[in-house]
Amino acid sequence: MVTEGRKFWFEQSGATMVEMAIAMPLLLTLLLGFVDFGYAFYQWNAASKAVQIGARLAQVSTPIATALPAETTTQTNTTLVGATVPAGTYDYVCTANSAGAASCTGTSCQSGNTCADQASFDFIYDGSSSRAGMHDFLPTLVKSEVRIEYSASGLGYWTRPGGPVPTITVSIVNHPFQFFFLGGLLGFNNITMPSMLSTVTGEDLKSTWP
């Protein structure tokens, strides 16, 4: 006769439920992981498109750095008039604080002056009624994560009528990936997207597009 102890060890009823209880959390984590990482890949593509659009808008609109248009338009040394503007002649970096207020640092920016055109920054970030901005492509983007640089890289010439020809680099920095499920399960909320940037050559400086 089989003892009660041996019956217990060889009993199979309920085994499926136990196996399911063990496997289900792993399967759910895997499934939700696919969903979240698919969304992260979407965010990566959206950020890439956002910096491309931001660079294009910065390329054809009024510079955020208010001191930039005056760079290279005058030259006291008449022997240099028409000569190439050397790389590094000017460099302006424009960002925004947590409240969205823009400011620029650079060659001719005076201490205590933001040296920034807020409307131009907002235009690149928000766009207009007829032009999509960076925020339209990446809705989770905030202004403090946008960095716009205008630098001299050896293009243009002194006293050029159209103004300086900057190299413009638009970047997204410190932007976190958004996870719906894995943030709570595995603490993925703190993963920061690698910096995304797009660089273009500036065109003749003009008024911001409507």
3-state secondary structure of 97: coil
> Tens-digit pLDDT profile for the chain (210 aa)?
456 555 555 566 666 776 777 777 777 777 777 888 888 899 999 999 999 999 999 998 899 999 998 888 888 888 888 899 999 999 999 999 999 999 999 988 887 788 999 999 999 999 998 899 999 999 999 999 999 999 999 988 999 888 899 999 999 999 998 887 777 666 666 788 888 999 999 876 554 444
- Numbers of helices and strands, H then E, in the chain: 5, 5
What single string gives the DSSP state of each residue in 164-198? Answer: ---EEEEEE-SPBPP-SSHHHHH-GGGPBPPPEEE
d(CA 103, CA 142): 15
**Please, is 171 exposed, middle or buried when counting C-beta atoms within 10 Å of its C-beta (0-12, 13-18, 19+)?**
buried
The predicted model scores a pTM of 0.81
Sheet holding 91-96, edge to edge: 102-106, 91-96, 146-151, 167-172, 196-201
Instruction: Name the residue type at position 207.
Output: S
Residue 13: per-residue pLDDT: 63
Asked if 147 contacts 170 with a C-beta cutoff of 8 angstroms, the reply is yes
Residue 207: per-residue pLDDT: 47
Residue 144: per-residue pLDDT: 97
Residue 27: per-residue pLDDT: 77
Residue 23: per-residue pLDDT: 73
Residue 6: per-residue pLDDT: 59
Name the residue with tokens 């409307």.
119
Residue 101: per-residue pLDDT: 96
Question: Domain coordinates of the chain in residue numbers?
Answer: 15-201
Write phi, then psi, for 92 (nearest 5 degrees).
-130, 135
Report the candidate in 161, 209, 164, 178 with the shortest Cα–Cα distance to residue 47: 178
Residue 73: per-residue pLDDT: 86
Residue 209: per-residue pLDDT: 42
CA R_g for the chain: 27
